[in-house]
Amino acid sequence: MIPYDAITDFQVLTSEDHELFRKVVRQFVERYLEPRVKEIEETNSIPRDLFKLAAENGFMGLGIPEEYGGQGSDYLNVVIYTEEVSRVCPAFSTATLARGLFTTPVLFFGTEQQKRNYIPPLARGQKFAAHATTEPGAGSDVAGVKTRAVRKDGGWVINGQKYFITGADKADYFVVLARTSDPPSRHERWRGLTMFIVERDNPGLRVGERIQVTGLKGSMPSEVILNDCWVSDDAVLGELGEGFKVAMTTYDYGRVGIAAQAVGVLQGVFEKSLNYAAQRVAFERPILAFQAIQFYLAEMLRDLEAARLLTYWAAHLLNKGLDERSIIAASLAKLFATEAAERASLRAIEIHGGMGVAIDGMVERFLRDTQIMKIYEGTSEIQRLVVIRHLVRKVLGFEV
């Protein structure tokens, strides 16, 4: 059972309400989103009316308590939504849920005033938000952030450059990680970082170039530049010098969302591959009759259901609270699901043959999307480190 304590730790509790919600999302996806996927891919832009429709359906308020205008904090609903949308368009799930990287730290570490100011407009879909931590020289190494905030005029002046910031092009609010004091030692580099809330119209903040990446067309990240950007003490999110903890908590929750994206990709490529194999004829037989194709599909289904169970399980544990168990489960889910989605996408291309590599075939895009899923919210290598470090800490009681 190590590192878990009891069989009950492996429960996944779903209800009829979860299934009804899934059907609502599926209806939205098939009616409004799926017919626009080719347009999104070709223009590398998501039409604004789709965001409005998502807000009208309450999808922008997922994971947010009702007292702040959301649909409730059940994380399994977030996973179900992400999975269903990503079955067709992973970029849209990224674009609509990127605000979770803002709402999560504010809900967990923010003051009541910060929650009241920023969360309701996001839950209603009236505003967008982004999480600005990554820098050209600080990705997986969050403690390597070079952006600095110094005391001035009763507040803080922030200077630095953020890179690969998802949703920055639309964001009205940002959480920004900056160094407010030097670390006490080389082994405590994570100390002295502070998270700030910065509004888009704040003088000194500028959203720079849109960075063209290989996947998730329609949800390109951007550069964010802070040049003598002054904020008041009210902008500090959480405790001064404890920004690393704020960031890590955010990623522990965000990783399950990425796992759910990967599950959606697995479902999408499996369905496309099964249907194509049943219809495509070669040597006077449907290619589904060939054992090689049968094995491919069986392996894809194996990975799909294993990834879904891991992801739902991690979401259930997160609903119960953030601890060693849920952190390990979240990293396991992201690690397995994203790598499985990559394997399945490659198999789908092979099953589709020439159509698999044709842009108009709408299959190869899933492989491009999985490359980003394996990287953001912590690379596969980082997930392995998270798992082993929390495992050793919980079971053996020391750090590695």
Among the listed residues 101, 61, 68, the one whose alpha carbon sits nearest the alpha carbon of residue 252: 101
Q: What is the full DSSP assignment across 182-233?
A: --SSGGGTTTTEEEEEEETTSTTEEEEEEP--SSSTT---EEEEEEEEEEEG
**At 221, phi and psi to the nearest 5?**
-75, 170
DSSP H or E run through 174: strand 173-179
Active site residues: 377
Distances (CA, A) of 388 to 192, 329, 394: 25, 12, 10
Q: Kindly report the CA angle at 190 between 117 and 150, in degrees rounded to 5?
A: 60
Cβ–Cβ < 8 Å for 93, 85: yes
Cβ–Cβ < 8 Å for 307, 259: yes
**At 213, phi and psi to the nearest 5?**
-115, 170
